[in-house]
Amino acid sequence: MRAGPSQEEIRRHNLSALLRHVHLGGPTSRAELTSRMGLNRSTIMALTSDLTAAGLVREELPRETRRAGRPSLVVRPESARVYVLAFDIGVDRMVAARVGLGGVILDRREAVRRRGPFDLEEVVGTLVGFARQMLRKTRPDTVCVGAGAAFPGGVCREDGVIRFAPNMGATDVPLGRELSRRLGLGFPVEVGNDANLAALAEQARGFGVGCQDLIFLQGDVGIGGGVITGGRLLGGHEGYGGEVGHMVVNPGGRVCSCGAKGCLEAEVGERALLELAGRYGSQGGRDAVRAIVEAAGLGDRAAQKALSRVGDWLGLGVANLVNIFNPEMVVFGGTLRELYLGAAAQVRSRITTEALAASRETLRLRTSALGEDTTLMGAAELAFSRILADPLAVLARATS
Amino acid sequence: MRAGPSQEEIRRHNLSALLRHVHLGGPTSRAELTSRMGLNRSTIMALTSDLTAAGLVREELPRETRRAGRPSLVVRPESARVYVLAFDIGVDRMVAARVGLGGVILDRREAVRRRGPFDLEEVVGTLVGFARQMLRKTRPDTVCVGAGAAFPGGVCREDGVIRFAPNMGATDVPLGRELSRRLGLGFPVEVGNDANLAALAEQARGFGVGCQDLIFLQGDVGIGGGVITGGRLLGGHEGYGGEVGHMVVNPGGRVCSCGAKGCLEAEVGERALLELAGRYGSQGGRDAVRAIVEAAGLGDRAAQKALSRVGDWLGLGVANLVNIFNPEMVVFGGTLRELYLGAAAQVRSRITTEALAASRETLRLRTSALGEDTTLMGAAELAFSRILADPLAVLARATS
């Protein structure tokens, strides 16, 4: 703080805060914004007018009101007009979506991805094709204000390059640069680790709202982690923090795709589960994991044993994270949703045995509230971060 | 930000920033403060005058100067006048010190602590006795502006109570409240986890200066962890974060004081080392650990094997932390200093095998720059935080 912020900086900050409120909280009355933001009514009115004039929000009479007197106008995000492009790249699927301000999925495309060495051209070609299809269908008065992509690998903070992604067969892939170049939107496509973005999405719109210390565990073929501590995403020195799937829980155990042995991912990931259930070699993927959980529920002994064993390692991994982070909440997403639901007893038992009482006694365990689209919504939130930081300037650039 | 900060708030912020500069950076010329703080010369002069008038800093002509023209005055902290009380409670020792602004140890007392159930009266009695001895020796114009204590256990953020400390035989001990009551200084004695405070001290005055992502591993009987991520100490939901000593690295391994099996602390702590070296039953403590490292250096095969085995588990633990946090630096303190120096090859080898290349390639490993007093200096920094946040108000209360 060199000197006090200028009037212009204060206005920008307040516009950002108000837009973030309605983006995350949905339609909100002026009266509520006044009390939540701690600003007076005339300031809220001025800010709302600016955002309305820009076409970022709209003011409406509330649908119903029980109070007497003049009802407070409701401010809602212009979800149909202002949107971002969100991409989600998984081991078995590629998703592209147009997501409106407020987090509404307006349009969505999905393709199957074949496993094998990472083919940048195939992935970028598919996603850019989807994006073009969706962009062609938009009305002329709509505006794209950002783009983001979720990827199951380590993303370098400095240059956005995918540094490692053993389950994707990818090393040093300039994904963001290629997507940006091919899309030519006039702004870059931001790339983030899928579990990190899922953690942010869960905190923004899921069970983690208001939660400052949250761990998101994302199961795909491997196990990704997104850690929010003290309200902020753990990035680490170069952006590779949160790789909890490569925490060794069973020294000398199963060989992991990273080269080490006994990583959480090796003991809990798709391959371990399929092998233990005697189903390795059949097609993998989310359906295969679901099938084992279902079979276990129907009494299949091999499936039950596999689930119990994997649940045990998952519980040990979570116990370690509870001791290390003292989180308020751990959220299971992707294939870990089914796996946790099928093996909750093992997971909880391990946490009770292995985690410090003080660190676990207020812990909550949840499955992702946003389901299959958690990572996609995380990519959308990454894309929205630009306009939320400086609404009018970013919108002006996007429409110019 | 409801509105712009007031002139008074800006002044308080700037006074705080300037005092923090000279507290951490030592004597600094006005010219350098001007450029580092991005304020103009007259503002720096006014701030310095205020702090000088309050007796927090002093301005002097520099000892030597090579430039022509009028030399810039040097601002130095009033270390001899303004001080805090710092307490460090370990398994085997209790330390009390008077630490002057700028981090100078002005006076210091140390006592041996016998192992066994935690005796609050003994610990508080000893430390308060030391404090009174030191306070009696101060000149009348000196002023005590804070007090802090480091403790090897989990400290509840809410009420400062030691919730768990298996190696100290302590559960639910209101240490801060008792120290505060007996000292009667007019302000509370703040209590923090020893490894957390050591991490802050290392970042403030050790190898971690300028480092935003640092892990401090403190060896005493057990293993404590202090994690700084994104520049901030990891506390977790209730303040128990960073208990990396209770990360299970060897499921089914040695029984830990926490009740679990195969915790990092159980495999790397004092007892494991002594047992593996065939020396368990003799007196433990830092000297015993040092003796094994020395014996290994002199060719003692049992000591070498013990060190190698423990170093291997330590390396695995650090590799896990590297994957989880992507730290810039890991610092070994307490008995882990000797242990790391004696087993660096094993530790490094495990990190190379087990940690992701991207996360380890810029990693630096260090032994604590502040030596045996790292945790004590951390307690001092905790004690200084009040006056650094609001210099004039806190000083006025302390001298009234």
d(CA A112, CA A284): 13
Q: Which residues of B194-226 are buried (b: 16+ CB within 10 A; e: fewer)?
A: bbbbbbbbbbbbbbbeebbbbbbbbbbbbbbbb
Write down the pLDDT at residue A284: 81
In this predicted model, what pLDDT tens digit does every residue of B155-166 receive, in sequence order? 999 888 999 998
A82-196+375-399 — its CATH code? 3.30.420.40
Give the chain A residue nearest B252 (alpha carbons): A250
Test the B interface: residue of A13, A261, A324, A351 with most B CBs within 10 Å: A324
Give the closest of A237, A258, A353 to B326, CB-based.
A237
Which is nearest to A114 in space by CA: A317, A332, A283, A363? A283
Contact A172, A155 (CB under 8 A): no
d(CA A391, CA A12): 8
Write down the pLDDT at residue B1: 41
Q: Is the pLDDT of residue B69 over 80?
A: no
Q: What is the mean pLDDT of residues B140-166?
A: 94
A contacts of B164 (beta carbons < 8 Å): 356-358
Contact A173, A120 (CB under 8 A): yes
Contact A118, A165 (CB under 8 A): yes
In this predicted model, what pLDDT tens digit does every residue of A252-284 receive, in sequence order? 999 999 999 999 999 999 999 999 999 988 788
Q: Is A160 exposed, middle or buried (0-12, 13-18, 19+ CB in 10 A)?
A: buried
Write down the pLDDT at residue B399: 87
Quickly name the fold that domain A207-368 has.
Nucleotidyltransferase; domain 5 (3.30.420)
Q: What is the mean pLDDT of residues B247-253?
A: 97
Q: If you classify domain B210-368 with CATH, what class do you get?
A: alpha beta
Give the chain A residue nearest B247 (alpha carbons): A320
Q: How far is B53 from chain A (nearest CA, A)?
A: 23
pLDDT band at B216 (very low <50, low <70, confident <90, very high): very high
Mean pLDDT computed over every residue of chain B:
94
Q: How do strand A232-233 and strand A329-334 relate by DSSP bridges? A: unpaired
Q: Do domains B82-196+375-399 and B210-368 have the same CATH topology?
A: yes
Q: How far is A304 from chain B (nearest CA, A)?
A: 22
Q: What is the mean pLDDT of residues B323-338?
A: 97
Contact B3 A10 (CB under 8 A): yes
B7-77 — its CATH code? 1.10.10.10
Write down the pLDDT at residue B382: 97
Distances (CA, A) of B176 to B92, B103, B164, B308: 20, 22, 14, 39
**Tokens 């805060």, residue?**
A17
Phi, psi dihedral angles at B366 (to 5 degrees): -140, 155
Query: To the nearest whole percent, how much of chain B has pLDDT over 70?
Result: 98
Contact B237 A328 (CB under 8 A): yes
Residues of chain A below pLDDT 70: 1-4, 64-68
d(CA A55, CA A37): 21
Could you tell me the strand order of the sheet in which B223-229 lies?
Answer: B232-233, B223-229, B214-219, B329-334, B364-367
Q: What is the mean pLDDT of residues B238-256?
A: 97
Dig out the tokens for B396 from the structure. 């006025």
In this predicted model, what pLDDT tens digit does every residue of B357-399 receive, in sequence order? 999 999 999 999 999 999 999 999 999 999 999 999 999 998 8
Give the chain A residue nearest B3 (alpha carbons): A10
Give the closest of A3, A213, A237 to B213, CB-based.
A237
| Domain assignments of chain B as residue spans, ordered by start | 7-77, 82-196+375-399, 210-368
Q: What is the mean pLDDT of residues B152-176?
A: 93
Q: How far is B189 from chain A (nearest CA, A)?
A: 22
Give the closest of A14, A154, A358 to B240, CB-based.
A358
A contacts of B325 (beta carbons < 8 Å): 234, 236, 241
Contact B356 A240 (CB under 8 A): yes
pLDDT band at B4 (very low <50, low <70, confident <90, very high): low
